[in-house]
Copies of this chain bind each other. A is one copy, B any other.
């Protein structure tokens, strides 16, 4: 151990040392970019089983990189793609667990890409930015590498990290993480830490960083209404035979009230309302709701007018029909009364709403309104509760301070209308709170052709993590020295 007073465990590091580490990262940015390019060239598409070997390659690539900078890294088999776990626990201070995913979305329609999605390229923009264009450039290979490269610079300059760091990387985030729950159950002890960091989120503005402290939960349902035993001729049976599309339409219409509220009995019953302070934080954000809607071709909020648009999408639960199909919908018209029709419905949930309980309230609502001669079949497609990161957390305030140093402005605490299931999974299974800090911009085209990551996001992301690691070393931990990581998360849950 070559500890010195500059890297005093649990006591923070000197500003001078931080500047040295930042300087190293800047001087070696081109090597960091080379590594990102290597990583991006591996087509680790998880939803297509034929890319399983490439997913394994991506896992090995990360494990090798982490071993190369002194982590104890292993590639762990699962029922699906492997999960990489790595540890570097030489410090006595807080212990963070970093999460990321090495898998990517498919590239279709491939003809819409301006260059090969798996041959990354740098594209200079009129505004002076440089885009790194490739599948996964932002989601999540570019983002997760900001953290690894920050660790690399710490190691290069000081020989060690200022705090204890573990990492884990899954290869199924883009396909529903089927292996994750089982993996957490079996490996909870090894993943124990004080807080989880992740980098799968967005900046608030190009120049304003954000920590996402609220995620809505989700409940996904498929509902199928079946009536006649076969498609019927709409002339021969029209009026007399129950039409499942008509029934489904009436059921869907019954889910929302006139003001956009969800009309299922008890849907809002147990909601934990946002505290005043958090609501004020949201209302004072410089958010242009009109511009937000306009960018999607819309001019009016469809939600409950008692709430601002940001509240509607971050703090209020929703019910959206994601898809519907029944009968004949090709060219022209086929005069049938179809035998069945189906809809895909997802509810976004807020704290206090339990997915199981919302599921049974929804199903009861539908069953009570389903007329004679209709069978209704429900298929649950998954769910997870909402997550809120406590604004009292010392890690949150510390990370916020670190980001302020880098960005020269107050980082904002934001919500997300979407769900990152790993956040609630890790909370539930390992008792760990999360700190989601990301550097993606809203125009990064995640899941779309020509996905990009700004070179400045990559560099500022590495710098931000260098500072966050430094600041976190000032946090107190009540665990005995050198036993950090030995108490199991499972015990805490």
Chain A positions within 8 Å of B, measured between CB atoms, are 176, 216, 218, 220, 222, 227-230, 232-243, 245-246, 248-250, 252-256, 260, 289, 292-293, 296-304, 309, 312-313, 316, 318, 320-329, 332-339, 341-344, 346, 348, 371-373, 381-382, 416-419
- Alpha-carbon distance A243/B326, docked complex (angstroms): 18
- Alpha-carbon distance A320/B341, docked complex (angstroms): 13
Chain B: CB-nearest residue to A311: B239
- Alpha-carbon distance A235/B304, docked complex (angstroms): 16
Q: B256 contacts A253, CB within 8 Å? A: no
Q: B253 contacts A249, CB within 8 Å? A: yes
Q: B313 contacts A236, CB within 8 Å? A: yes
- Alpha-carbon distance A303/B237, docked complex (angstroms): 10
Please give, as numbers and ranges, the residues of chain B lying within 8 Å of A302 by CB-CB distance: 239-243, 371, 373
Residue of B243, B250, B299, B323 touching A328 (CB-CB under 8 A): B323
Q: A346 contacts B342, CB within 8 Å? A: no
26 A–B pairs (Cβ distance < 8 Å), ordered by A: A218-B335, A229-B296, A230-B296, A230-B297, A232-B296, A237-B417, A239-B260, A239-B302, A240-B301, A240-B313, A241-B293, A242-B302, A243-B320, A245-B323, A249-B324, A250-B252, A252-B253, A297-B339, A302-B373, A323-B328, A323-B338, A324-B325, A324-B327, A325-B325, A325-B326, A335-B346
Q: How far is the CB of A246 from chain B (nearest CB, A)?
A: 6
Please give, as numbers and ranges, the residues of chain B lying within 8 Å of A333 by CB-CB distance: 220, 222, 322-323, 344, 346, 381-382
Q: B250 contacts A303, CB within 8 Å? A: no
List the 5 closest pairs (A to B, CB-CB), nearest first.
A235-B418, A229-B297, A323-B327, A249-B252, A239-B303
Please give, as numbers and ranges, the residues of chain B lying within 8 Å of A325 by CB-CB distance: 324-326, 329
Q: A321 contacts B249, CB within 8 Å? A: yes
Q: How far is the CB of A387 from chain B (nearest CB, A)?
A: 13
- Alpha-carbon distance A361/B301, docked complex (angstroms): 29
Q: B299 contacts A373, CB within 8 Å? A: yes
Q: B253 contacts A321, CB within 8 Å? A: no
Please give, as numbers and ranges, the residues of chain B lying within 8 Å of A320 by CB-CB distance: 234, 238, 243, 246, 337
Please give, as numbers and ranges, the residues of chain B lying within 8 Å of A248 by CB-CB distance: 249, 324
Q: B252 contacts A322, CB within 8 Å? A: no
Q: How far is the CB of A436 from chain B (nearest CB, A)?
A: 14
- Alpha-carbon distance A238/B348, docked complex (angstroms): 8
Q: B322 contacts A324, CB within 8 Å? A: no
Please give, as numbers and ranges, the residues of chain B lying within 8 Å of A230 by CB-CB distance: 296-297
